[in-house]
Amino acid sequence: MLTNEQKIAVESTEHRILIRAGAGTGKTEVLTRRILHLLEHNPNVTLRNFAIITFTNKATENVKDRLKRHLYSQWLHTTDIELKMRLRAELESLNLVKISTIHQFCRAILDYAGPSEIEASVYYSPSYKVNDSTLLQAADNVMQRWLQQEDDSKKKVLIGLWPAHELRGFLIEAYQLIKNKGLILEQVLEQTRFTMLLKEDGNTAIIKECYIFLLKELKEEEAKLRLQSLSTDGLLEYASKLLKQNPRLVERMQDTYKYLFVDEFQDTSAFQTDILRMICDGGEAPSSLFVVGDLKQSIYQFRGADINSYKSVEDWIEKTGTVLTLRTNFRSTKPLVNFVNTTFRGFQNDEKLPLFEAEDLNSNAQEDLPMEDTIHYVLAEGAPVEEKVAQLIHNEVSKGASYGDFAVLFRTNRNMELFYRHLQKSRIPAQLNGAGNLFKCREVKDMFRIVNWLVTPQDIIKKQEALSTKIINRNLELLISLEKHMSRLLAVYTAAQVIEEVLKVTDARKMYIDEVDEQAVANLYRLKEITRGLSKNENIQLVDFVKWLSIQLLTNKDEKQAEIIDNQKDMVSLITIHKAKGLEFPNVILVDLDRNLDSIPLSPNFLHYAQSGIEYQLRYSGPFNMITSAHYPDAIKIYKEQYLAEEARVLYVAMTRAEKKLYFMVNETVPKKRICYQKWVWNSELIPNPPKSSHGSAETPVGKGDLGSIADNSGAGQDEGKWRHQIEAVNAFLAAKNGILEMATGTGKTKTAIKIINILLEQKEINSVVVTVDGTDLLDQWYKQLVSDTKLTLYQQYDKHKRIAPFSLMPERSVLIVSRNQLADFFSYFDSKFFNNALIVCDEVHGMGAETKVKKLKGQLSRFKYRLGLSATPEREYDDEGNAFILNEIGPVIYKFAIEDAIRRGILCEFDYLPLEFELTDEDRVARKKVIAAHYAAKRDGKPASLNDLYTKLALVKKESLGKIPIFQEFILKNKHLLKRSIIFVETINFGQKIQEIILPIISNYHTYFGDDERINLERFGKGEIDCLIAAKRISEGIDIQSVENIILLTADRAKLQTIQRIGRSLRINPKDPNKRATVLDFVEKIVEQEEHSELTSDQERNLWLTEIAQIRREGI
């Protein structure tokens, strides 16, 4: 039964109709009923006279299915013979009806026109293919030609500020901005040039002038490359331009499609609007138009959706047709509808909130349930949100709910995989929709390891990697069986067929299903389909596939994971809000509510401003140095208003997906000034018992006492098998003979190496051993461990020990422990016979890549028969030469046991990560500018320093920022327990002294470690005589302090190495406290404005990494 408002929309005789359809009001049903009504009451009309335009391919199938059902129902029940015959004919021809996306419709328009000239030197032919890669090639060509032109002062300005790849990125960004908005490039450039002459001068004018030239060149170059193709967006542009210049084509379209229906019209663009207006508002017989949309659900601005275009059509139809409204919601319970109405009505009465054109919904539900049974606030209480979500679902299922009743909605797909894995671990079946990072999934990496080994099965390292996969699971018999089975097939099977065969032989699908991991199966089949798509004839060679897949894994290419949308299965849905649009779920759980909308890219590099054309704000030499065009401040003000208004609409879409219950996952520690969804939903009068901390009373950061109460549901660990990784590492090295064991701090690298030494000596593979590392403490530690675990003769060559000469005389069954600084002198004592029977152990192998070591040792280490490297972080960040030296002289990483593995195994303890945001002071910003100015002054004076030197000096400003001081003081006064058994890392003695002034009134039993003369303080801290140590000097890895509980990072390098070493201090298990739980307090620079696609800062990278590790829980062994 249709409601009165629906019936009016279906039966209206107006030629142009716009339906403003609120969430859950049955708009698709009205659209299909309108089509059927026109068919029934117009005998001369057929479905082939209709063009029905939807937003997605899935929506086209939905409309087609509805039409089929209704047509069949009418055909079945009608007694009118003539109508029955017509309906039968329509059913049989339903597949010929133009039900399509706007892009498919535009392709049809172009195909109707046939070969055409769109504009000067721009052509179209129906044989053209859709290809979106041409723009990138065109940009490369334009930039290359421009850079190769004769030198001119304007070009030098840009090259002096940005590298070529950034200039190329800017060019593509500006070009796509104009295209997505449906603007005419020439008009925009002319407007930009005119305002530039009036308002811009100096570098700002030069930048605009250069980009006006480059954008014009890019359009011409793209047109040349598109001789046989066009882009997806080009379909809309070409169709619009062709209709404008060809009235005959408009008439043909009007004659073919007498009725145009458009769904989800709120997401229209300027090009789409132009196309509809030309077909439905021109000529002698314009087509009838019926559009359905809801401005409150317009959430695709990033794809070119233009609210102004929608409003212009609404104004036009209001004058020439009729605008109707559907307000009755059939989806949600009455309390839910009331809650949504009240929440968004509040936006109109609060100037601090984004613009939102609220329009109340009416509930069709008769039962008036209590609000507290419908709207639920779930406090985090210090626990990870994914853990709370799992608990919530478990509780509700135990009360009779089904897993399939729940959907977890995400603003972005960033954390979806984390939630999925946690639900899987909790034995909760789930399906992903809209998740990314396919090539980061373990199952994809495992398939790569297996196929990589199949290509070269004789490679022992690759065999070990294949054995370590979850699919093979250390089953040597299965691996041998797979090799035997595949040996005759590899030469004839395609890569996609090889993947399928591996899945069959190993029965991997059953294994994943048994583990409630259907997503892994779906991802592997998606990998297979992507592989098939690499070659239309499925003839890509396996070795080419392996190379291709290795590149995807190494470059972390973002690719969507498989989607398992099966409503018949009882599974929790994990889905992005954008993907959920148009769907409904009994119970909706909203996460990411505390996501800071004000820090998300609110400052794009380029904006279009209606009054002046292209405006820009471009960063150079760090995040705080910007060149800004004259009208950018005006443009960004409008952009931010539009951005936050769209975020409000995204929240509206999310909340209106719920049928029965709506759960908000609340972070009770959200800062007062943060702009986020959580603050917006708290504006409602109907919130039952909102958390008291919502308005700032809980801004106090959570201390260890709060986090320590989190229950660990992962199961208790056991000692048996805890250290099995050492055996795996030994076997990996014995198989490879050379390479690096990447093992986390505290996991027994030294003991593992000594096991290798003893085995090789016993097998008479070696006679002598050389151990080298930096630092007296580590060298002494090696000496003590070798005395304890071997029966070898030991010689020392470091500090006061000078024993290399006697070692050279009697090297048999002997070990030389030598510092790296003295290693270069070692080689002159021995001939090739010695090296052919010797092993070198390079502990902290990353140190071997230092520039001085590379120069002295190049070609020397490779003389050893066996070469073993040890490190928790073997890769040297930002040092390709050093990494290449280590790879060539020692070998690759052959075994990895990361810090994450060590925590799961119970070798290292769990920890809580507390990041505190700080802002640079005005003095800091002045200091940064001085550093940059000095750098470029030196460059102009002919004494240029490297960029690394510049970045190091800039980083030092941040490390010594006084902006951390008040944040630290406020926090530590409320969390004094964190100073007990703590190490506070500072960059300089001066900064350390300021920290002393803060902690002195709190704790008296502290000391400093600012240099070797204070080594006694380090030793006393290790013995437990001192509670807190302030360190401005690197603490040697040879100092093992198991009782450290808290690490405070007031300084941290971009490279992971230093951070791993520092937090590793607190993660060592203390035998006196087996239940130890550590805390890492970090200081993260707050980035107020950041571009959408900009690189993460070092602080952001460290924050993400430590956040992930802190969520790891100890597992059963």
Which residues define the annotated binding site for ATP?
A: 21-28
Which one, of 437, 415, 428, lies nearest residue 594 by Cα? 415
Which one, of 136, 749, 748, 429, lies nearest residue 740 by Cα? 749
Is the C-alpha dihedral spanning 681, 682, 687, 693 positive or negative?
positive
- Burial code (b: 16+ CB inside 10 Å, e: under 16) for 604-641 equals bbbbbbeebbbbbbbbebbbeeebebbbbeebbeebbe
> Which of helix, strand or coil describes residue 819?
strand
Structure tokens at 915: 């990041």
Cite the annotated binding site by residue number. 21-28
C-alpha distances out from residue 747 to 461, 591, 906, Å: 21, 36, 10
As a whole number of Å, the CA-based R_g of the chain is 34
Q: How many angstroms from the chain centroid is the CA of residue 1098? A: 16
**CA separation for the pair 363, 337 (Å, rounded):** 6
Q: How many angstroms from the chain centroid is the CA of residue 737? A: 38
C-alpha distances out from residue 648 to 346, 351, 641, 675, Å: 12, 14, 11, 11
Structure tokens at 867: 């070469």
**CA separation for the pair 10, 36 (Å, rounded):** 9
**CA separation for the pair 776, 1036 (Å, rounded):** 9
**CA separation for the pair 96, 144 (Å, rounded):** 48
Q: Where are the alpha helices (DSSP H) in 703-775?
A: 704-707, 724-736, 749-762
Opening angle at CA 988, ends 987 and 990, nearest 5 = 140
Q: How many other CB atoms sit within 10 Å of the CB of residue 713?
A: 12
Q: How many other CB atoms sit within 10 Å of the CB of residue 707?
A: 19
1014 Cβ contact list (under 8 Å, min separation 6): 1007, 1008
What does the H/E/C string look like for 893-945?
A: EEEEECHHHHHHHCCECCEEEEEEEECCCHHHHHHHHHHHHHHHHHHHCCCCC
**CA separation for the pair 487, 501 (Å, rounded):** 12
> Which of helix, strand or coil describes residue 663?
strand
990 Cβ contact list (under 8 Å, min separation 6): 960
HSE of 125 in the Cβ direction (CA atoms, 13 Å)?
6
First vs last C-alpha separation in the chain:
60
| Residue position matching structure tokens 């030069």 | 206
**CA separation for the pair 819, 128 (Å, rounded):** 67
What does the H/E/C string look like for 308-368?
A: HHHHHHHHHHHHHCEEEEECEECCCCHHHHHHHHHHHHHHHCCCCCCCCCCCCCEECCCCC
Q: What is the DSSP letter of 7?
A: H
C-alpha distances out from residue 696 to 383, 545, 679, Å: 19, 54, 11
